[in-house]
C-alpha cells in the first residue's frame, strides 16, 4: 500500500503544481501582462494544458487507485486517504472519457472565441460572434457525448461544476424561486433615482477600504494580494498565495462588494486543511459551494444593517464631501435596492436569480437542440421581457454580456443561484452556533464567523461530494425557503423603515 500511495500522491502533487502554474498564467494575463504578450501566453497555456491532460489521464493513476481500492475500503469514509482515492478515481474516470484531441480543441477554440466575443460585445454585434458560439456549442455537445449514456445532456454539463447535481433538481429549486422572486420584484422594485450621490469616490480610498475589509474578514497580506483588473476573479496559486482582484469605478462603491465577494472565494481556498495541500482535495467542493461563500460575505454579511453600522462611518470618513450628510439608513437602503436592470453582474439580490433562470432555460434549449444559436438573441430578449419587464435595447446589454458561453461554459450559471440559496442556509447554521453574530458585525468582528466557516466547511476542501458537504455544513439538502425568507425579511424591514 505505502509505495502505491506515495506514488499516487507524488503524481497528484505534480498535477496540483501544474494547475497552480496554470492559474498564475491566467492571473498574470488578466492583471498585468502587456497586451502584445497574448500570442506567447496562448502557446504557453496550450502546452501546459496538454501536459496536464496527459498527466491527469495517465494509465498509471488508474492502476494505482485500483490497487489502493481495498485499502480505501478499510478506512473510515471521511479519512483523508479514503477521500483522496475516491475523488481521484472519479476525476480520472471522467477525464479519461474525453479524448485528448477534443480537450485541446475545446481549449484552443475557447481562446479564439473569447477574443471574438470581446470585440463583438464592444460593437454589440451578435452576428460577428455567432459562428464562434455555434462552434463552442458543437464542441461542448461532442464533449457531452463522451459521457453517454445519460438521462439529460444538461446533467452532464452540471456534473462538471456541481458533481451529482441534476437538471430536474435545479428546475425544481428554480420552480420554487421564480414566482416568489417575481412577486418580490413586483412589490419592491423601484425606478427612483438613487438618493445617495454618485461619487466621485477616489479610487485610492476605495482600495484602502477594500483592503481593510479583506483584513477584517480574515485575509492576511503575507498570503493574499488584491489587484485591479477588468473582470474581477480569484485565483489560488498556493494555500498561502491567494490572489484577489477587483475593479474600481469613481462613480460608485461596487468595488467594496467585489472585494468582499472575491475575499469570500479566497477564504474558501485559504481555509482548506493543509494536510490536503497538493492533492485534488485542496479546493472548494463545488462551484455552488464556492459561490455560497462569496455571496455570504458579499451579501449576507456585506449588505446587512449591522455590518454597515460598523463600516459606514469609515466609508463616510473616506468620502466626507460625498457621503458626509447621507444618513446610514439611506445608504443601507441604496445598497439593497431592488431594480430591474440589464446586466446580471450588477443586479441586486432579488433580480439576480431571474437573470440566472433566463440563462438556465436558454442553455437547456440550446443543448437539447430546440433553440438554434441564430435565434438566441430573440429568445433572450423575449424571455427577458417576461422575467424582468424590460426591453433589451441591444445585444451588448443582452445576450452578449457574459463571457461564459464564449468560453464553452454551459451549465455553469445555475451554480451562481444555487450558491445564493446556500449562502443563507449556511449563514443560518452559523448563527445557531454564534447567536450574537449581528452584535459582532456591529463591532467589526468577523473572526468567529470565519472560524466557524473554516471549521465546518473550508477545511473539508473537496473531500466529500457537494451534496455530502452541504449536508455536513447546512444540516440538510439545498432548500430555497430560507433564502426566500431572508429576502422577504430584509425587504419588509427596509419597506417599513
Task: From 14-22, 62-70, 283-291, 315-323, give the range in contact with a copy of itself by CB under 8 A.
Answer: 14-22
Nearer Cβ to a copy of itself, position 180 or 235? 235
* Strands in 164-273 per DSSP E: 224-228, 234-238, 241-246
Asked if 346 and 254 count as a contact pair (C-beta separation under 8 A), the reply is yes
Asked if 105 and 394 count as a contact pair (C-beta separation under 8 A), the reply is no
Q: Is 262 a catalytic residue?
A: yes
Site for a copy of itself in 165-224 (CB under 8 A): 220-224
Of 13, 131, 327, 477, the one binding a copy of itself by CB under 8 A: 13
For the bound state, the minimum distance from the C-beta of residue 249 to a copy of itself, rounded and expressed in Å, comes to 23
Residues contacting 50, CB < 8 A, separation 6+: 100, 104
* Strands in 380-438 per DSSP E: none
Cβ neighbours around 141 below 10 Å, total? 16
Of 237, 285, 335, 400, the one binding a copy of itself by CB under 8 A: 237
Query: Degrees (nearest 5) of the Cα angle 187, 192, 194?
Result: 120
Nearer Cβ to a copy of itself, position 46 or 176? 46
Nearer Cβ to a copy of itself, position 28 or 438? 28
Nearer Cβ to a copy of itself, position 282 or 373? 282
Asked if 467 and 477 count as a contact pair (C-beta separation under 8 A), the reply is yes
Q: Specify the long-range contacts of residues 375-381, CB closer than 8 Å, at least 24 apart.
A: 376/126, 376/133, 377/126
Q: What is the DSSP string of 430-496?
A: HHHH-TTHHHHHHTT--HHHHHHHHHHTGGGTTSS-HHHHHHHHHSSS--HHHHHHHHHHHHHHHHH
Asked if 347 and 359 count as a contact pair (C-beta separation under 8 A), the reply is no
Q: Say how far apart CA 173 and CA 183 lie, in whole Å.
A: 16
For the bound state, the minimum distance from the C-beta of residue 163 to a copy of itself, rounded and expressed in Å, comes to 25
For the bound state, the minimum distance from the C-beta of residue 39 to a copy of itself, rounded and expressed in Å, comes to 7
Residue the block writes with cell 494544458 = 49
For the bound state, the minimum distance from the C-beta of residue 218 to a copy of itself, rounded and expressed in Å, comes to 14
Secondary-structure breakdown of the chain: helix, strand, coil percentages, each rounded to the nearest 5: 70, 5, 25
For the bound state, the minimum distance from the C-beta of residue 53 to a copy of itself, rounded and expressed in Å, comes to 13
State the binding string over 27-66 for a copy of itself (x if CB under 8 A, else -). Answer: -x---xxxxxx-xxx-xx-xxx--x---------------
Task: From 26-34, 148-156, 373-381, 427-435, give the range in contact with a copy of itself by CB under 8 A.
Answer: 26-34
Asked if 406 and 133 count as a contact pair (C-beta separation under 8 A), the reply is yes
Lookup: cell for 187: 412589490
Lookup: cell for 425: 442556509
Per-residue b or e along 72-99, where b marks 16 or more CB atoms closer than 10 Å to that residue's CB: beeeeeeeebbbbbbbbbebbebbeebe
Of 197, 228, 238, 306, the one binding a copy of itself by CB under 8 A: 238
Nearer Cβ to a copy of itself, position 38 or 251? 38
Site for a copy of itself in 79-108 (CB under 8 A): none
Q: Is 118 in the site for a copy of itself (CB under 8 A)?
A: no
How many residues line the site for a copy of itself (CB under 8 A)? 38
Which one is catalytic: 107, 180, 262, 269? 262
Q: Say how far apart CA 407 and CA 290 lie, in whole Å.
A: 20
Nearer Cβ to a copy of itself, position 197 or 238? 238
Q: Is 111 in the site for a copy of itself (CB under 8 A)?
A: no
For the bound state, the minimum distance from the C-beta of residue 240 to a copy of itself, rounded and expressed in Å, comes to 4
State the binding string over 335-354 for a copy of itself (x if CB under 8 A, else -). Answer: --------------------
Of 73, 240, 247, 314, the one binding a copy of itself by CB under 8 A: 240
Q: Cα–Cα distances in Å, from 165 out to 91, 154, 170, 237?
A: 16, 10, 8, 28
Nearer Cβ to a copy of itself, position 39 or 101? 39
Of 4, 5, 9, 21, the one binding a copy of itself by CB under 8 A: 21
Helix axes 413-433, 349-368, angle to 10 degrees: 140
Q: Is 18 in the site for a copy of itself (CB under 8 A)?
A: yes
Nearer Cβ to a copy of itself, position 199 or 238? 238
Nearer Cβ to a copy of itself, position 257 or 458? 458
- Rounded to 10 degrees, the C-alpha dihedral 478/484/490/494 comes to 160
Site for a copy of itself in 261-320 (CB under 8 A): 277-278
Which residues contact a copy of itself by CB under 8 A? 13-14, 17-18, 20-21, 24-25, 28, 32-37, 39-41, 43-44, 46-48, 51, 220-225, 237-242, 277-278
Catalytic positions, written as ranges: 262
Amino acid at each position: 500500500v505505502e509505495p502505491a500511495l506515495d506514488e499516487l500522491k507524488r503524481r497528484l502533487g505534480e498535477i496540483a503544481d501544474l494547475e497552480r502554474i496554470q492559474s498564475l498564467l491566467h492571473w498574470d494575463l488578466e492583471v498585468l501582462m502587456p497586451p502584445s504578450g497574448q500570442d506567447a501566453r496562448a502557446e504557453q497555456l496550450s502546452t501546459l494544458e496538454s501536459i496536464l491532460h496527459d498527466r491527469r489521464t495517465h494509465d498509471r493513476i488508474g492502476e494505482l487507485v485500483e490497487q489502493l481500492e481495498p485499502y480505501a475500503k478499510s478506512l473510515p469514509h471521511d479519512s483523508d486517504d479514503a477521500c483522496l482515492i475516491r475523488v481521484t478515481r472519479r476525476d480520472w474516470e471522467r477525464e479519461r472519457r474525453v479524448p485528448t484531441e477534443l480537450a485541446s480543441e475545446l481549449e484552443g477554440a475557447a481562446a479564439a472565441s473569447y477574443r471574438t466575443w470581446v470585440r463583438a460585445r464592444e460593437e454589440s454585434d451578435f452576428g460577428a460572434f455567432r459562428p464562434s458560439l455555434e462552434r463552442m456549442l458543437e464542441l461542448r455537445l461532442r464533449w457531452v457525448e463522451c459521457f453517454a449514456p445519460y438521462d439529460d445532456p444538461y446533467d452532464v454539463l452540471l456534473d462538471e461544476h456541481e458533481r451529482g447535481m441534476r437538471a430536474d433538481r435545479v428546475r425544481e429549486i428554480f420552480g420554487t424561486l421564480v414566482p416568489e422572486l417575481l412577486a418580490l420584484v413586483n412589490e419592491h422594485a423601484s425606478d427612483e433615482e438613487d438618493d445617495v450621490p454618485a461619487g466621485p469616490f477616489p479610487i485610492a480610498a476605495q482600495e484602502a477600504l477594500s483592503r481593510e475589509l479583506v483584513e477584517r474578514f480574515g485575509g492576511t497580506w503575507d498570503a493574499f494580494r488584491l489587484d485591479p483588473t477588468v473582470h474581477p476573479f480569484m485565483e489560488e496559486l498556493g494555500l498561502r498565495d491567494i490572489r484577489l482582484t477587483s475593479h474600481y469605478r469613481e462613480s460608485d462603491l461596487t468595488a467594496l462588494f467585489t472585494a468582499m465577494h472575491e475575499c469570500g472565494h479566497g477564504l474558501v481556498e485559504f481555509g482548506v486543511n493543509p494536510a490536503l495541500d497538493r492533492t485534488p482535495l485542496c479546493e472548494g467542493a463545488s462551484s455552488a459551494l464556492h459561490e455560497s461563500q462569496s455571496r455570504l460575505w458579499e451579501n449576507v454579511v456585506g449588505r446587512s444593517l449591522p455590518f454597515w453600522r460598523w463600516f459606514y462611518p469609515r466609508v463616510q470618513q473616506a468620502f466626507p464631501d460625498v457621503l458626509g450628510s447621507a444618513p446610514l439608513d439611506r445608504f443601507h437602503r441604496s445598497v439593497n435596492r431592488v431594480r430591474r436592470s440589464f446586466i446580471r453582474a450588477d443586479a441586486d439580490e432579488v433580480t439576480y436569480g431571474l437573470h440566472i433562470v433566463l440563462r438556465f432555460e436558454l442553455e437547456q434549449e440550446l443543448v437539447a437542440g430546440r433553440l438554434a444559436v441564430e435565434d438566441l438573441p430573440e429568445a433572450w430578449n423575449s424571455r427577458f421581457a417576461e422575467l424582468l419587464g424590460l426591453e433589451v435595447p441591444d445585444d451588448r446589454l443582452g445576450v452578449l454580456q457574459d463571457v461564459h458561453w464564449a468560453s464553452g461554459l454551459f451549465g455553469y450559471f445555475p451554480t451562481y443561484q444555487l450558491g445564493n440559496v446556500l449562502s443563507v442556509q449556511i449563514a443560518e447554521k452559523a448563527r445557531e452556533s454564534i447567536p450574537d453574530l449581528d452584535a459582532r458585525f456591529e463591532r467589526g468582528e468577523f473572526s468567529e464567523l470565519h472560524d466557524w466557516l473554516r471549521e465546518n466547511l473550508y477545511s473539508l476542501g473537496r473531500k466529500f461530494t457537494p451534496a455530502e458537504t452541504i449536508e455536513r455544513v447546512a444540516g440538510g439538502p439545498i432548500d430555497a425557503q430560507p433564502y426566500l425568507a431572508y429576502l422577504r425579511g430584509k425587504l419588509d424591514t427596509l419597506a417599513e423603515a
